[in-house]
A and B are shown apart, each in its own frame.
Chain A
Amino acid sequence: MPKLIKDGQLVQDDAWQVIDDEQDIQDYSIISLPRWQENKEALLTHAQAGKLGVWIDSHENVDLIGDDSSSFTLIAVNFPVFTDGRGYSTARLLRERYTYQGEIRAIGDVLVDQLHNLQRVGFDSYLMREDQELEDVLRFFKPFSNPYQADVRETKPLFRRRDKAVS
């Protein structure tokens, strides 16, 4: 059973599936970025209907999907290893540079200790690595009640709200 967390909950019945480039595309398939780029025109309606997702690998720059992002309701960002931090910039730029409104899903080497930063840069669902224990997982989302920086969720840095910030 895949371990998916979405909107702060464990989800059992999620239809989205990452598929290989050789597999046939079905409803709720998540395809690779090169496959999207090569078949954009044929796949556009499918994507716009909210039934096709795309995944971006860590070495693929966010500008490669760019404004196409608005055609999707789900974009997955892959972490080949959890120490590869490019995906954090990818998600943040999807939100801030391309004002992408749909779901951003972290896939690959996703560990509970990353959840806090991932949600801060704009992720909202997390396909956790197989071995992760998810009992009491929600506590990992907010180890810090009031971080210093602005992020996708809190658009003002602490220095602009220090007086008002409730700790």
Chain B
Amino acid sequence: MYVYDEHDEKLLQERVAQFTDQMQRFIDGKLSETDFLPLRLQNGLYRQRYAPMYRIAVPYGMMTSVRLRKLAHVARKYDKGVAHVTTRQNFQLNWPIFEEVPKIFAELAEVGMHSIQTSGNVVRNTTTDEYAGVLAEEVTDPRPYAEIIRQWSTFHPEFSFLPRKFKICINADPDVDRAALTVNDIGINIRRNEKGEIGYRIYVGGGLGRTPIVGVVINEFVPEEDLLTYISAILRVYNQFGRRDNKFKARIKILVKALKIERFKELVELEWERIRDTEDKLTKEEINRIKRHFTEPDYLDLEDGPIELQNARLDNPDFARWLDKNVREHKRSGYAIVTMPLKETGLTPGDITSEQLEALADIAEEYSFGETRNTHQQNMVLADVEQRKLFELWQKLKPLGLAIPNLDLLTDVICCSGGDYCALANAKSIPVAEAIQARFDDLDYLHDLGPIDFNISGCMNACGHHHIANIGILGVDKKGEEFYQIALGGKQGFDAQIAKILGPSVSRDEVTDVVAKILDFYVDKRIEGESFIDAYYRIGHDAFKGAVYA
């Protein structure tokens, strides 16, 4: 975990002072709403449908127990005691008082937290694989590189008023993309070349929103030291040539598509050649300095599959189910990675209360070196748990509602805040998630269905990632009434696919029935061991359409 030195610390304190001053000038009438808008957005402060919203940055999703406690405290003191995990691995507070937000920022800064660039037309929080650093398959830990990008992008003098928001993500798993590389503005896949040197395959121009586009590779191998010069070249081309006349056509994906990737690459690489050997070229010393912050914790020498674990599994089927679903292999023998879906039926997907946060802070200290992670699926992770203590951990997580064994299942829904909070939404999304969770609450059935990505967005801005869901729901407005469009066949990962609309939109009451028909059809037609998405691609879109709308 990166620890701030005096320079990082000072920059953060200076940001608090700057934002506090801007808010005071706004309150005093010296800064108009229009002039204040981008300034507050760059500090994570929105105005929503009923209340402001404050988005707190969690760089590459990493939290510590100290930070969890601080978050619990500010959520209780300034909000309703609930924080919400977002699809960019951040936290949101949904009911703060507008004028008090600089005070929240100041309190967060005491523990190195902040809300810098969690909104606005700037480079946003760099996201990564939620299992970064604990996967055996990984080429290297991507988090130091995410931290290098964080520092480079923070208060960038040239790129603080881009045409539109800009999202970068990075991973280092050659086979599985848990960071959504191809639906970010820039996706970076760390890899090794034939000589064994570290470098980056860079994807550009992906994105969801109203024009979903899967990103393309702009360069197969950018050498390790050229990370910042290469992405600076991309940003510089985008800043100059990205459209600014229409907000909906301002993302880099539209520019890449308009120019075509060949021409876009030419412009970027011409610029890159000019700046490649400037002072922005990374040094081995700097890469190593950052890497030293992400060294392994003091793992014990332990065996895989200890007897305590085997016995507990045999004695307790509920525990066994949780193990199978929410616990995965760790690179280190005797350890495991535990994911905690924040998807309890009746609660907003991604929500976590101050009490849960505080309990989790203690648990993380006892079982996982005092660290947790946020996932882009709106869940949380304990990444370094001793296998022999899994049963004990499970018993502690269960009463907290943090051991629901539904990871990657139908009810592990990604959901935007929707019409309950968001001013942009055409329809509510949270009640749809709840209705699905209530209707499909039989764990045996859910486990039998197997993994299904089910995502809901309340409008075409697609914050709920409905385009890349196996079953995606989009809220639409029809003459003032809420309707829902259902699409099938979306996928995340290296082979990302955009979901295809199934048919006419339906009312909220009908959504669960349609989903039930889709699932029945799948169960009926699947062959042994075939997942929903594989069955969909085998059987075909039209067959599903016929089954639902017949």
Q: Which residues of A are interface residues toward B (Cβ below 8 A)?
A: 61-62, 82-86, 88-90, 92, 96-97, 111, 113, 116-117, 120-121, 133, 143-151, 155-160, 162, 165, 167
Q: Are A146 and B280 neighbours in the complex by a CB distance under 8 Å?
A: no
Interchain CA distance A92-B236 in the complex, whole Å: 10
From residue 119 to 157 of chain B, which have CB atoms closer than 8 A to chain A? 121, 151-152, 154-157
Interchain CA distance A85-B238 in the complex, whole Å: 11
Q: Are B11 and A120 neighbours in the complex by a CB distance under 8 Å?
A: no
B279 within 8 A of A: yes
CB distance from B412 to the nearest CB of A (A): 37
Contacts A89-B236, A156-B279, A159-B283 known; 13 new A-B pairs at CB < 8 A: A62-B240, A88-B159, A90-B240, A117-B155, A120-B157, A143-B15, A143-B17, A144-B155, A145-B14, A148-B11, A149-B280, A157-B152, A162-B5
Q: Are A83 and B38 neighbours in the complex by a CB distance under 8 Å?
A: yes
Closest to A146 in B: B7
B510 within 8 A of A: no
* CB < 8 Å neighbour of B35 from A62, A85, A111, A143: A111
Q: Are B5 and A144 neighbours in the complex by a CB distance under 8 Å?
A: no
In the bound complex, residues from chain A placing their C-beta under 8 Å from that of B18 are 143-144
* CB < 8 Å neighbour of B14 from A61, A92, A133, A143: A143
B274 within 8 A of A: yes
B162 within 8 A of A: yes
Interchain CA distance A120-B159 in the complex, whole Å: 12
Q: Which residues of B are interface residues toward A (Cβ below 8 A)?
A: 5-7, 10-11, 14-15, 17-18, 22, 30, 35, 38-39, 121, 151-152, 154-163, 236, 239-240, 244, 274-275, 278-280, 282-283, 286, 289
In the bound complex, residues from chain A placing their C-beta under 8 Å from that of B159 are 85, 88
Interchain CA distance A145-B12 in the complex, whole Å: 11
Q: Are A158 and B7 neighbours in the complex by a CB distance under 8 Å?
A: yes
Q: Are B14 and A88 neighbours in the complex by a CB distance under 8 Å?
A: no
In the bound complex, residues from chain A placing their C-beta under 8 Å from that of B35 are 82, 111, 113
CB distance from B153 to the nearest CB of A (A): 8
**How many interface contacts (CB-CB < 8 Å) are there between A and B?**
102
* CB < 8 Å neighbour of A85 from B6, B39, B239: B239
* CB < 8 Å neighbour of B158 from A82, A89, A145: A89
Q: Are B157 and A121 neighbours in the complex by a CB distance under 8 Å?
A: yes
Q: Are B157 and A151 neighbours in the complex by a CB distance under 8 Å?
A: yes
In the bound complex, residues from chain B placing their C-beta under 8 Å from that of A121 are 157-158
Q: Are A157 and B280 neighbours in the complex by a CB distance under 8 Å?
A: yes
Closest to B160 in A: A117
Q: Are B22 and A113 neighbours in the complex by a CB distance under 8 Å?
A: yes
A-B CB proximity, top 5 nearest = A85-B161, A120-B157, A159-B286, A117-B157, A143-B18
Interchain CA distance A61-B267 in the complex, whole Å: 13
In the bound complex, residues from chain B placing their C-beta under 8 Å from that of A117 are 155, 157-158, 160
Q: Are B162 and A85 neighbours in the complex by a CB distance under 8 Å?
A: yes
Q: Are B157 and A160 neighbours in the complex by a CB distance under 8 Å?
A: no
Q: Are A167 and B10 neighbours in the complex by a CB distance under 8 Å?
A: yes
Interchain CA distance A53-B62 in the complex, whole Å: 51
Known contacts A61-B240, A165-B7: does B155 contact A88 (CB below 8 Å)? no
In the bound complex, residues from chain A placing their C-beta under 8 Å from that of B15 are 143-144
In the bound complex, residues from chain B placing their C-beta under 8 Å from that of A149 are 152, 155-157, 280
Interchain CA distance A90-B158 in the complex, whole Å: 9
Interchain CA distance A86-B239 in the complex, whole Å: 6
CB distance from A59 to the nearest CB of B (A): 8
In the bound complex, residues from chain A placing their C-beta under 8 Å from that of B121 are 83, 85
CB distance from A152 to the nearest CB of B (A): 8
Closest to A159 in B: B286
Interchain CA distance A144-B14 in the complex, whole Å: 6
CB distance from A38 to the nearest CB of B (A): 23
Interchain CA distance A62-B282 in the complex, whole Å: 27
Known contacts A113-B39, A158-B151: does B239 contact A88 (CB below 8 Å)? yes
In the bound complex, residues from chain A placing their C-beta under 8 Å from that of B283 are 159-160
In the bound complex, residues from chain B placing their C-beta under 8 Å from that of A84 are 161, 244
Interchain CA distance A116-B21 in the complex, whole Å: 15
In the bound complex, residues from chain A placing their C-beta under 8 Å from that of B11 are 144, 146-148
Interchain CA distance A147-B5 in the complex, whole Å: 13
Q: Are A157 and B279 neighbours in the complex by a CB distance under 8 Å?
A: yes
In the bound complex, residues from chain B placing their C-beta under 8 Å from that of A159 are 151, 282-283, 286, 289
Interchain CA distance A92-B160 in the complex, whole Å: 14
Interchain CA distance A143-B42 in the complex, whole Å: 15
Question: Mind listing 25 A-B residue pairs with CB under 8 Å?
Answer: A83-B38, A84-B244, A85-B121, A85-B158, A85-B162, A85-B239, A88-B159, A89-B236, A92-B158, A96-B275, A97-B274, A117-B160, A120-B157, A143-B15, A144-B11, A144-B14, A144-B18, A145-B10, A148-B152, A150-B280, A157-B279, A159-B151, A159-B283, A159-B286, A167-B10
Interchain CA distance A84-B162 in the complex, whole Å: 7
Closest to A158 in B: B7
Interchain CA distance A145-B38 in the complex, whole Å: 22
CB distance from B74 to the nearest CB of A (A): 24
Interchain CA distance A159-B163 in the complex, whole Å: 28
In the bound complex, residues from chain B placing their C-beta under 8 Å from that of A145 are 10, 14
CB distance from A8 to the nearest CB of B (A): 17
In the bound complex, residues from chain B placing their C-beta under 8 Å from that of A146 are 7, 10-11
Closest to B163 in A: A85
Interchain CA distance A156-B281 in the complex, whole Å: 10
